[in-house]
Structure 1
Amino acid sequence: MGESSTTTTKSAKDRKLEQILKVSTELDLDPIHDVELFWIVEEYLSAPLPANWSKIKTPTGEETYVNSTSKITIRENPVKPRFKKLVQLMRHCESKKSVLDEVSVLELWTPIAKVQDILDMARYLKIDAVAEPHLLWIAKLAILEGLPEGWKEVRNEDGTTSYLNTLTNQKFSQHPLDDHFEGLIRVNRSRGVPQTSLRPDLYEWQPEIKFDEVEFKPEEKWLHRRVHRQPASGKWIPYLDVLGERIWYNLETKKETTDLYDIKILPAALCLQRSWRSYTVRRDMWRIHKAALVIGKYVKQRRFRKFVKKLQAERKLATVTLQKYRLSMLKRVEASKVAFERLGSIGSRPGRKAKANVSGIMSSGYSFRSVRRKVIHIQRAYRAYLERKRVGR
């Protein structure tokens, strides 16, 4: 009997192990190198089927999945694409050395049925979906997050919902995590709006998330995320459907699409307009700069020409002045020679040459005025000498 029980237990374990290995293969997980991601396999095996889906076995024993609404029958578990997407996200975050945020994990585990649920929760939390799309992750988290331990949701007789604290047996009309989400909204609003970008990877993968606790008290254990860049999507917001595919919803037209062309066309046009405007501004500034350089060069050249012209005029004036002075000096020397010759001829007969005692002063080039000034100086000195000599006697 004990051996039979042991055999049954072993076969159950073997079946469980075979099932885990089979699912890991379907999710592209390596049993040796991806051991840290095998929690995804466990979650996959315990994940409930989406609404309107059921699992049946064919007469051959094969498991198939049927949608009661669309009557579609498939062989693959409808939750498989979501968990395969989760594996891809985890590997992508590992390659980028970043952390996959809680919202993405929860949304892949239990997708939000309708985008209207997100908008209703955003309205309840006083988030403007059009002006603050970067805060809609908090509305998603409020939908996906379960009640804290010791709390349960109860339906009142009047149809309203209350929240019962099983430890104190107290009822509250407000959700116990509302204060937590309001704090998240307040902190993320204070950080401002993230930059938008048309980078393709932002549309394919989740924006890079960074967690921080520095602005909160340690006992509160708050985690809020900082998104530095987000895809430029205009009025479109993303959410995941039951198959894990990202659907884009337009807040104005209420249209849904998976075509990124519809998402990017308006932001791309706005980006081109901004780029063109900035180009025209830079072009006009460059033209003004070049014009300023030309004007500055012209002004400098004009000032230089004016300075050179003034210098040439001053040089010409100096040359003329020197020439006049030189001619005047030569005329004075010639006139002085005539004067010296006349002085040397005093007492001589007319027609005779001047005395030899004036030939030296005539050839010296001195002017008569300077010679006379020196002679007068010598005469005065001599008379003073004679006067001192006479008085001394």
Structure 2
Amino acid sequence: MLKQPPLLKGIRVIDYSHFLAGPYVSRCLAALGADVIKVERPITGDAGRSHPYFIKGESGYFLQQNMGKKGLCVNVKDPRGLELMKKLASEADVFVENYRPGALNRLGLGYEDLAKENPKLVYCSVSAYGQTGPDSDRAGFGLIAEAKSGAMDLIGQPDDIPPLMRMPVADMYAGAHGVAAVCAALFSRHNTGVGQHIDIALYDCMVSMHDFAVQFHTLSDGTDVIQRSGHNLPQSTVYGVFPATDGALVIAAQVNDVWGKLAQLIGGEQLANDTRFQTAANRNAHSQEAVALVKEWTKMRSVKSCQEALDQAGVANAPVQTIAQALSDPQIQSRNMLIKQDHPVLGPILMPNVPFNFSHVESQPLDIAPDLGQHNNEIASNLGYSDSEINEMIRDGVLYEAPTNCDTP
């Protein structure tokens, strides 16, 4: 089979972002073959460096989201640092940032400033509310978007406040949209020669994720209201989480023919022919009764016993796995969804991979996330700075390189 170079080979990306949504965009672009430069401020760097889980002074959070990048630490409030950044941007293809709208304009690193010198630049802004609208200048995180979008109101028990989503849904979903938008803008640039300013909002992304709740409201003129339903979807019966003697499993039997198989399994011909459950509308009308019948069957059996019977009957199911079980799952391992890296302090470490697979491109091993300012000299030298100019900027704190754990006795 013909092998091709990485899809984004030759594309230079400036990652001027912090924490999660922006770094995830550039982490994915690095996995696709782009040359990504992670820009951080002196002394503290990306706030993600201070986010757990910590081991031997290293943040696993930072290591995951910044693998495959080179590290530049520069003080852009110094005119020399700002000049260096503008030189870097003048030669870049993509600029990723996730600061509050207007923040980089005040530094002279906004889209309009950089596009004057580099009209081909694809500039991706990720923010809580977007570049426009009455809330655009408000601070926000993924949690804010998840709450305001109505998504959080859909989960949990009806008699309690909704729980936290223990995964960063808004940040990661916005990041994935950012990757798609950047690739589309690069394709457009190939045809037009002109870049784009991409405006991604976490809030927008969460609202766009609604597959049912929005039309449930709009098409009923607001008369139908979705209530939190805990472990099951009463508008899609049977589709939910069920208890077993040693854990829990999920069952998806919302389609008529699959429900028939499940009914035959747990109740024989009598239940399979019960007119209360033979159509989706009837099952939804009697959702609590249908769910109760399935629950009575599962709670008397182990997860494995339920799975074996359901698999034989042709009913989609899966165990509710712990993180440890998911990581040891042969399916995940066979799909290379865990990356092994050799860290100079931690030794071999495992990190989640990004879910890209291509027929003609082999995935490339990614370097570990850079130490703060690790590649200052290399990047500045490539921009044409002399050794004396680089040393002067290092002396004056314009370029900063933190001592690494390897340097500590």
TM class by smaller structure: under 0.3
TM-score by length of 2: 0.18
Whose radius of gyration is greater, 1 or 2? Answer: 1
TM-score, normalised by the number of residues in structure 1: 0.18
Structure number with higher relative contact order (C-alpha < 8 Å, ≥ 6 residues apart): 2
Higher helix share: 1
